[in-house]
Amino acid sequence: MAGRPDVDGVLASRGYVRQHERVRRRGPRADTRGIGRRIATPLLASTIATLLVACDPPDETTSSARCSDTIEEAALASETTAQVRLLDRALSTCGSYEVFTDQLERYPSIIGYDAATFVELRCNTVTDEAVREGPTCSSVIVPVTTAPPTTAVEIVFVGDTLDGRAIEIRPSDEITFDGEVPAAIQQTVNIAIESNCAGVIAQRDLYAAQVDDSEAGAIASVYAQHAQNVANYINCDAPPLDTRPLDGSDEEQSGDT
């Protein structure tokens, strides 16, 4: 059939086949989005790691070195004001009480006394809050909410003996107190209320019999004199006790005359 295209010849031609194969092998378009994700993920992780390292606090070695350098600078300073300023800075920058005192003890001549005393004195007098709240001072300053330590008040009872001497009596294992007075003194007062004169005179004579030149004898003399005072107060009709000194000094004086 004249005029019919040579289809077989066209399909069989080498150039057509190669063009067809190229089109066939091209296939679907590759998805490159996953590649971007694979690249971005390690970059993000690296950035986060860098930020975390930048945010980490300085290690103890760096802090200790800075503390040591500041105290050394203070030790070399020629003016007292500069030394005080640098030591205050060290109180804030040194990581702990132990670190500060260890470094300060390397220069014993800088303060004239031991490091512990310096820390206690300086931290309790400095007004700079940064220094007071630093790791060194915060370990020795007593919080303001804590009540100050109370000082025990010594109880002393002063009484007169039968011969007029003033004797101090303090609480001890042998002497008990009832409030601020010896229990024996309070007992005599109670006896006066309960037994009146008879009980008070008996109490007086009991202690008067124990009077001698010892410390216990002097205390018994105080108790006897107190009982006599109570007897006088409630108008007891009883002979007075012998109030001559135990050493017999009155007799010697009367003999000389």
Q: Kindly report, residue by residue over 51-88, the tens digit of the pLDDT.
A: 444 444 555 566 678 898 999 998 898 888 888 899 99
Cα separation, 232 vs 226, in Å, equals: 10
Q: What is 107-151 written as a DSSP string?
A: -GGGTSS-HHHHHHHHHTT---HHHHTSTTGGGTSPPTTSPPPPP
Q: How do the domains of the chain map onto residue ranges? A: 60-139, 157-249
pLDDT of amino acid 179? 87
* pLDDT score recorded for residue 140: 84
Q: How far is CA 164 from CA 47, 73, 82, 229, 246, in A?
A: 94, 69, 65, 13, 11
Chain center to CA of 46: 46
Query: Under 8 Å CB-to-CB from 134, ≥6 apart: which residues?
Result: 91, 92, 93, 94
Per residue in 122-146, pLDDT (tens digit) is 898 888 998 988 889 988 876 655 5
Q: Which residues of the chain have pLDDT under 50?
A: 1-2, 6-27, 32, 35-36, 39, 44, 48-49, 51-56, 251-255, 257
pLDDT of residue 95: 87
